[in-house]
Amino acid sequence: MDLLAGLNEPQREAVLHVSGPLLIFAGAGSGKTRTLTHRVANLILHHRVPAGRILAVTFTNKAAREMRERLNQLVGAEANRIWMGTFHAMCAQMLRIHGHLIGLDPRFVIFDTDDSTRLMKEILRDADIDSDRYPAPRMLARISDAKNNLQSPDDLQSVAGSPYHRVVARVFKMYQERLKAAHALDFDDLLGEAVRLVTESEWAREHWSERFLHVMIDEFQDVNQAQLAWAKALASKHRNICVVGDDDQSIYKWRGADVKIILDFEKQYSDAHIIRLEQNYRSTQNILDAAHGVISNNFGRKAKRLWTQTQGGERIVLNGAANAQEEAAWVVRQIELLQREQHLKLSDFAILCRVNAQSRPFEEAFMRARVPLKLVGTQRFYDRKEIKDLVSYLKVLYNPNDNIALGRIINVPARGIGATTIEKLGMIARESGLSLRDVILNCGQEVLGRAINMKLEPLRRILITLQTDAENARSVVELLDKVLDRTNYYEFLRGDRTGNGNDRVANVEEFMSAASVFDSRMQDEDFGFSDESRDPESPMEGPPYLGLFLESSALESGTESGATGEDATVLMTLHSAKGLEFPIVFMPGMEQGLLPHSRALWGEQSGPDELEEERRLCYVGLTRAQQRIYLSYATQRTLHGRTESTQPSQFIDELPPQLIDRSGFARVGASSVSSYATTWESSGSSSSSRSAFAPAAAPRSSEPPRYRVGERLKHPTFGEGVVVNASPSGGAGEWVEVAFLSQDAGKKKLAVAFAPLEKVE
């Protein structure tokens, strides 16, 4: 097989590279997946690298499945022996095998976001912490940030400089204690504990770094510090680490990604070989030039420019609307017109929004026009109540210490066990050090009281019977059948008074199908647990395959709502669109405060890094398009119940003017877009590093600055503060650094043109 056929020169270079560190900058639409799969095939077929000694890490299950399917076509069944999957899936497998070396129960369960939120709410209630001031999602976000940076509760406590941060550290410690008591790990723990495994256990580090001759990491621009530490440890012996990514598409800072990691790869590996994939196979040159016009304004990037053999192309259409409803109606009209003129399918069109809240006007407009619209990224399959109920039953059977799972199904279907009873059972469990299951099964009338004891009797019988079923079941499907039968769950769903009973039954049947597919795969694949990798001393016990099924369910990205296979226009967020492509793309909401988002302009964490991430998000949206792009904005928009006047996005002004069709622009009274170019003087970016990554900043304005050092200002969110640093000139790029009096706010760097600041006399 000629693995180099049809590849361009940089792609061939990447495929033929075998030894030592390799960094591949793979631009949007540059044939990255084909390059990676051919590189792996070359290692297996021409260099006799055993497939089981290759680790290939992706960021989504979909990407892993696609890569494995392509490799099956290239190398056959050997592809099934490659360790391939997401960071979380690979770390979970390692911890199942060797987690006992650092004190982990190999039968741990994985808490998803919903489980973690339930646990955090329980902690806040028990600790009498104000959940309005310290909401569970925000606490979990702070804890996730700490875990991504490999910080422990003690680490957080040692640097807590305010009452707020001391509460976060305290809650973090309680959260970890309860996870441990439940024999559970959350998603971030999978990474952190895998790092701890290869850090604290010399045997494990030697074993895994010896096992993997080649380590490949996809989407490297989106890794965090924990993922970097794990990958470096596994590649420490053979140093054959290949990382692939595009710093211009790093859009996940909000969940811990650090774009500096890919930019600094050459500092980690001074002998790294660098390859740039810049030939684009997706978009027209006009689209690529427009995207470059935007992204070239970022300072923190490596110099590169996409090109294609498809020269020219349609100009980017820009439209102004009076409000969101008019904007949505315009989009529908354009789709109907293009569909008729060019005989396109509705599925050829995608509407990419900055936030989900933009969807309502489009849903209404498409419904009025009787044009099918599919929303992507709404409720996921595994987030549906009936699926979470069944998964919780399986979790309790697999891990009796999982109080969160048992708390979810203790009264599902209804058994007359109310919230007060459940709270009392939880209190007894915490005070006695027992699991919730032990309290239900073993504490009698003298502890619980006669009334509660009688209510619990039917649940006791079900739990005991199902535990026996679990020990005897030969497959996940067989065990699920028992759960459905013992609990009369189908009858419970059919009695749904909302009228959704049949749909919920269909979801359960789909879940049964997923379990059946899993059972079949377990007969055909070793899931990475080949004889050479399994530790014979690892205490892997329990119902057959149940732990792996629960793990795959927890890590599955989920199925978006909406009919599959139908001819419908797709609406999704820009974040959800990453990795996809569409013939024609609409990007509504091109406004200051939406794209770029208000958080990047005047939020708590506003600053140059946040603005650059918003610019990368705009770049991702533009590079999804194959043939045409339509940009639009509204001069007035209602979001979250508030109607406000808006201004066109500063990113519009960064597009090359000769590529823009502004035919719909003047209709709302704007003959041109004001310049919003912002010059940031970031203390973290030296002038030398800027010149290496981007062109020089725009000339400074001659206007005098609005605020000066020493002046007192007031912000509606952060309160009063004092200007400690300011730009030397005014205009659109003026900024101020304010030390706010509130300890929670601290210092903030704000763009004067957008931040709602007032002078305090």
pLDDT at 703: 67
Mean pLDDT, each 10-residue run in order, the chain (761 residues)? 88 94 94 93 93 91 88 90 91 91 89 89 90 89 91 90 89 94 92 95 94 94 93 94 93 86 93 94 94 92 90 91 90 91 91 88 87 77 84 90 89 85 84 85 79 86 90 87 91 77 81 81 53 42 67 62 64 90 95 88 74 93 95 84 81 92 52 33 32 34 73 83 76 73 72 78 72
Place of tokens 């993922």: 227
Which residues pair with residue 737 across a beta bridge? 725, 749
Active-site residue, from 218, 610, 612, 614:
218
Residue 328 CA to residue 556 CA, distance in Å, equals: 33
pLDDT at 523: 64
Active-site residue, from 249, 623, 627, 635:
249
pLDDT at 665: 47
Distances, alpha carbon 613 to alpha carbons 296, 298, 750, in Å: 13, 9, 16
Active-site residue, from 12, 13, 33, 237:
33
pLDDT at 379: 55
Q: Would residue 249 show up in a list of annotated catalytic residues for this protein?
A: yes
pLDDT at 518: 80
- Domains plus CATH for the chain? 9-100+191-277 (3.40.50.300), 109-182 (1.10.10.160), 285-378+563-668 (3.40.50.300), 382-524 (1.10.486.10), 699-759 (2.40.10.170)
pLDDT at 499: 67
Other Cβ atoms closer than 10 A to 436:
24
Q: 675 and 732 in contact (C-beta within 8 Å)?
A: yes
Q: Would residue 279 show up in a list of annotated catalytic residues for this protein?
A: no
β-pairing, 214-217 vs 54-58, is: parallel
Q: Would residue 33 show up in a list of annotated catalytic residues for this protein?
A: yes
Residue 73 CA to residue 292 CA, distance in Å, equals: 35
Residue 289 CA to residue 284 CA, distance in Å, equals: 9
Q: 592 and 677 in contact (C-beta within 8 Å)?
A: no
Active-site residue, from 122, 186, 188, 219:
219
pLDDT at 686: 33
pLDDT at 640: 63
Q: Would residue 624 show up in a list of annotated catalytic residues for this protein?
A: yes
Active-site residue, from 11, 32, 222, 282:
32
pLDDT at 529: 43
pLDDT at 526: 46
Residue 374 CA to residue 63 CA, distance in Å, equals: 22
